[in-house]
Amino acid sequence: MDRVLFVIAHAGKQLMHAQAVNSHNLANANTVGFQADLVNFQTQIVTGAGHESRAFATAHDEGASFEKGSIESTGRTLDVAVNGDGWISVQAPDGSEAYTRAGNLHVNINGQLLTGAGHAVLGEAGPIVIPEYEKLEIGLDGTISVRPIGQQASTLAEVGRIKLVSPQLDQLVKGDDGLLRTRDAVPAEASSDATLISGALEGSNVNSVEALVNMIGLARQFEIAVKIMSTAKEMDERTAQLMELG
C-alpha cells in the first residue's frame, strides 16, 4: 500500500488536534483573563529505504499567547485587572503556586479571597483571608484594606497584599488547568513593577474572528486529507485490478 495513506492519515490526526485547540480558544473568548493556546505545524521528513519523498505535518503545542486582553471597567470592588506585564499569584489545586490574569475575585463564607475559578489568591504569607467588613479597597500595589464592621468611616485596616509577580515570559508554561507556572517550578518573587487597576477586568486575548477563520480553514484542510485518502484507496484498487489482468 502506498505510504501516502499513512502520511495523510497522520496529517488528519494533527489537523484534528489543531482544531481541538482552536475550538477551546473560541469557547473561552469571553473568559476573564484567558490566555489563548498556540499550535504550530512543522514538517518532518519520512526517513527509510529509498528516496525521501514523503513528509509528515506535525502539530506542536507552542504554549500560550501572552497578548493582553482588553480591559473593561466594572465598578465592582473585588474586580481587578493587571496593568501591563504581571500576574496574580494563586494556589493551584495541587497546592503549588501558579499565576493568572483573571481578576474576578470574591470572598467565600470562610473569608478566603478566591478567583472566579475558585483558586485561593496568595499574599506574602500564603492564602489571603479577609475578616468581615463594611468596605473594602484594593490598592495599585495589591494592598487590601477594609473597614471593619462597626468602625468609623475613616477607619481602614490593611489585611493583606496580593502577591504580584512579573517573571520573564519565556520562563512561564501553561498547565492543563489554565494556570501558568515557572518552568523550574520555583515560585517567582514578588514584583513592585506589577500593579492593579481596581474596578476593572481584563478579558480573554482570543481574537474571535481569527479563531472562526482558523476553524473554517482547518475544516477544509481536513476535508482535503479525507479526499486524498479516498483517492489513494481508489488508486490501490485499480492497481490490484491491473495486476489481476496481468
Residues 90/122, Cβ–Cβ less than 8 Å: yes
pLDDT of residue 53: 66
> Could you read off the pLDDT of 45-64 as tens digits, one per residue?
767 676 676 677 777 777 89
Q: For residues 31 and 68, give the distance between their C-alpha atoms in angstroms, rounded to a whole number.
A: 13
Cα–Cα nearest to 43, from 60, 55, 52, 31: 55
Kindly state the cell numbers that stand for 86: 504581571
H or E element at residue 127: strand 126-127
How far, rounded to the nearest angstrom, does the alpha carbon of residue 139 sit from its chain's CA centroid? 27
In a 13 Å sphere around the CA of 150, the CA atoms on its Cβ side amount to: 2
Q: For residues 57 and 70, give the distance between their C-alpha atoms in angstroms, rounded to a whole number.
A: 34
The residue extents of the domains of the chain are 4-66+206-245, 71-202
Kindly state the cell numbers that stand for 127: 492564602
> Could you read off the pLDDT of 94-138 as tens digits, one per residue?
999 999 999 999 999 999 999 999 999 999 889 999 998 888 999
Residues 196/140, Cβ–Cβ less than 8 Å: yes
pLDDT of residue 242: 75
